[in-house]
Amino acid sequence: MKKIFLLFSLCLSLHGFGQQPVIQVIPEPAEIRTGEGFLVLNPSSSISVPDGNPALAKAVENFALQLSGATGFRIPVRSGGANTRNVGNINIELNKSADATLGNEGYKLSVTNAGVNITANKPAGAFYALQTILQLLPKEAVSKTQVKDIEWKIPVVEITDYPRFGWRGLMFDVSRHFFTKQEVKDFIDDMVRYKYNLLHWHLTDDEGWRIEIKSLPKLTEVGAWNVKRTGHFGNFVPPTDAEPRNYGGFYTQDDIKEVVQYAADRFVNILPEVDIPGHSLAAIASYPDLSCTPGADKYRVRSGEKIMDWHANGFTALIDNTLCPANEKVYVFLDKVFTEVAQIFPFEYIHMGGDECAKNFWEKSPQVKALMQKEKLKDMHEVQAYFVKRVSKIITSKGKKMIGWDEILEGGDLPKSATVMSWRGMKGGIEAAKMGHDVVMTPTTFVYLDYMQTDPAIEPPVYATLRLKTTYSFEPVPDGIDPKLIRGGQGNIWTEQIYNTRHLQYMVWPRAFAVAEVLWSPKSKRNFESFVPRVEAQFARYDLLNMKYSPALYDPLVKVKKGSNNEMLVDFDRELNNLDIYYSFDNSFPDKFYPKYDGTSIPVPVDASNLKLIAYRDGKPVGRLITLTSAEMRKRAGIK
């Protein structure tokens, strides 16, 4: 047997001779030592898992099932230790005594010509090793249908890998637009390929209450439904009472339990968010007593019409979308909500929102004035802090820890046990960490995945832009802050302007590759130049999966300035150095035979009505056609 084995190995290594394996994994593993040659998975391969570990066995079965779609053969999973008889086996072992480097989620992966060995301290680590193997296999491994005439080669390699942060999340807003249970499961599948371990589920907001609360049935009978509108969300014509409120949806508690289990099977925790006291119009439309404002019984779940005025130094609510902090009924309501939330979500935290709570209706409320006198609260921030403290008591009484957006710091006196999610830049996180709170970093400046990805001339409009390279440069631990207090970070995907999963995918990927790498890989390994080809390797997989992604990294931002003679000058800001930009001012479509941008500012001809440009690489178009009108150029240059 041994001789046959040696012969087989020799054949395999000869077969692989001279082929330099390309290792392209996101997130970049902590340590990689490449070898020569390949191992080939084949119909007689098997995967062995240690006895007595149903969670691991299930995860491995899922992996084998997933792979069988592409390979056409189902690799059997066997319990009970190493099996080295066949070339092409994968052996998974859990360390008897923990390897401190690996922690709970790390792994060692050794691929030789003979087989694959995975060791980890915990099942999660082995699961992540399998995700790495999926990326080491040919891209066709992701196919859901059988791919013939291909060798399922895994390059010879030694990998030691473990995450930098324990909190590696994506926030998914299912309130602004509802996404089905299956769509949420698909989102989880997409996350785990890049070793995310936390789904922050934004379940309530002005536009929809998405979680069944059995003791408060109107929350989903009324609060889950609005009027379907399409276009640019935020300024829709206010709906009339005659229009049907049949757009939206919610998850039953059974649905949620199913998703929680689905996530747990993939080592993902789910953090539920109930966003209060602001962003609560769906709850108020269901139970108007929750408002301090007379006439709240006329309020309806928002359908994307304007309800807030945003100005340079803040915002004013046009209708009162806040829970009343001075009404004891509100706390009874919240006790019921959090009792049920705590029962269906096993994760240690509950998120209470706390962001963007307008105070202009509280300021007018006699009830709030009376509360301020009674509790000696000086201003509206202290009123909110009072509310947050009451909520913290409720959440703690359910055996959970409270986390909230960084506004929960306002008004002071935040309970020590609360964790702060820093979103208005890093400063809330810095302040919270200095006070000894745990922090999760989710700053708009780096990880708001709902923002545009390149020039507004070609992006679906959103009020801000965040490019891939900027996301990739995110550093969650600020200078001078104890890294132990920074639990990790997450990308946030708000869905005001996202109506379907195709656009969801476009907005999330590839920036969520960058967030995954920031949160998993050692800081010293981060390198945008090495990241880009790995992103493109994922694009090739997404093409096979029929998944959408944004190609915005190929599309420059157009900068326009005023020259000394009042003329306009344009420049193109590229994310990739190896792009050639061709342009025209004569309304025709530029290609590689047109003028090429050489890095010096281009004067705009006085009569030009449009600038058109497109990016090429290696003589092939890679970008999209971008058109800027002269009016837009004048606006950007600040010329009237």
Q: Cβ 156 to ligand ACM, closest distance in Å?
A: 46
The nearer residue to ligand ACM, 355 or 382, going by C-beta atoms, is: 355
Site string for ligand ACM, 336-355 (x = CB under 6 A): -------------------x
CB 264 within 8 A of CB 256: no
- Alpha helices per DSSP H over 215-358: 218-221, 253-264, 281-286, 328-344
Q: Cβ 407 to ligand ACM, closest distance in Å?
A: 8
Question: Residue 204: beta bridge partners?
Answer: 209
Distance CA 420, CA 422 (A): 6
Distance CA 614, CA 596 (A): 10
Q: Which two tokens stand for residue 160?
A: 């030691």
Site string for ligand ACM, 298-337 (x = CB under 6 A): ----------------------------------------
Distance CA 30, CA 525 (A): 7
Site string for ligand ACM, 549-578 (x = CB under 6 A): ------------------------------
Q: Cβ 438 to ligand ACM, closest distance in Å?
A: 17
Q: Is 61 a catalytic residue?
A: no
Distance CA 133, CA 164 (A): 20
User: What is 151-197 written as a DSSP string?
Assistant: -EEEEEEEEEE--S-SEEEEEEE-SSS---HHHHHHHHHHHHTTT--
Residues 353-382 that bind ligand ACM (CB under 6 A): 355-356
Residues 401-420 that bind ligand ACM (CB under 6 A): 405
H/E/C letters for each residue in 18-50? CCCCCCCCCCCCCEEEEEEEEEEECCCCCEEEC
β-strands 620-621, 602-603 pairing:
unpaired
Q: Is 279 a catalytic residue?
A: yes
Q: Which two tokens stand for residue 369?
A: 């004035």
CA atoms 115, 121, 125, 127: torsion sign: positive
Q: Which of 202, 279, 351, 437 is catalytic?
A: 279
Q: Cβ 384 to ligand ACM, closest distance in Å?
A: 14
Q: Cβ 593 to ligand ACM, closest distance in Å?
A: 46
The nearer residue to ligand ACM, 405 or 616, going by C-beta atoms, is: 405
Count of residues touching ligand ACM (by CB under 6 A): 4
Distance CA 114, CA 117 (A): 10
Closest residue by Cα to residue 439 from 474, 404, 414: 404
Q: Please tell me whether residue 201 binds ligand ACM under the rule CB under 6 A.
A: no
The nearer residue to ligand ACM, 423 or 554, going by C-beta atoms, is: 423
HSE-CB for 1 with a 13 A CA cutoff: 4
Distance CA 322, CA 466 (A): 30
User: What is 554-601 written as a DSSP string?
Assistant: GSPEEEEEE-TTS-EEEEEE-SSTT-EEEEESSSSPP-TTS-B--SSP
Question: Residue 578: beta bridge partners?
Answer: none
The nearer residue to ligand ACM, 152 or 405, going by C-beta atoms, is: 405
User: What is 605-617 written as a DSSP string?
Assistant: PTT--EEEEEEEE
Q: Kindly tell me which residue out of 251, 423, 549, 583 binds ligand ACM, with binding defined by CB under 6 A.
A: 423
Q: Cβ 406 to ligand ACM, closest distance in Å?
A: 8
Q: Is 205 a catalytic residue?
A: yes
Q: Which of 105, 190, 205, 340 is catalytic?
A: 205
The nearer residue to ligand ACM, 299 or 405, going by C-beta atoms, is: 405
Q: Which of 212, 275, 356, 555 is catalytic?
A: 356
Strand residues in 484-531 grouped as ranges (E): 486-493
Distance CA 14, CA 8 (A): 10
The nearer residue to ligand ACM, 82 or 464, going by C-beta atoms, is: 464
Longest dimension (CA), the chain: 89
Distance CA 213, CA 519 (A): 34
Q: Cβ 171 to ligand ACM, closest distance in Å?
A: 9
Q: Cβ 405 to ligand ACM, closest distance in Å?
A: 5
Q: Cβ 284 to ligand ACM, closest distance in Å?
A: 18
Q: Cβ 423 to ligand ACM, closest distance in Å?
A: 4
CB 144 within 8 A of CB 173: no
The nearer residue to ligand ACM, 196 or 423, going by C-beta atoms, is: 423
Distance CA 195, CA 168 (A): 8
The nearer residue to ligand ACM, 36 or 355, going by C-beta atoms, is: 355
Q: Which two tokens stand for residue 373?
A: 């006198």
The nearer residue to ligand ACM, 118 or 385, going by C-beta atoms, is: 385
C-alpha dihedral over 552, 556, 561, 563, to 10 degrees?
-170
Q: Cβ 421 to ligand ACM, closest distance in Å?
A: 8
The nearer residue to ligand ACM, 463 or 589, going by C-beta atoms, is: 463
The nearer residue to ligand ACM, 333 or 448, going by C-beta atoms, is: 448
Which residue has the CB atom at the shortest distance from ligand ACM?
355
The nearer residue to ligand ACM, 99 or 355, going by C-beta atoms, is: 355
Give the Å distances, CA to CA, from 258 to 251, 261, 264, 265, 344: 10, 5, 10, 11, 10
Give 146's DSSP letter: -
Q: Cβ 428 to ligand ACM, closest distance in Å?
A: 10
Interaction site with ligand ACM (CB under 6 A)? 355-356, 405, 423
Just list the catalytic residues. Answer: 205, 279, 356
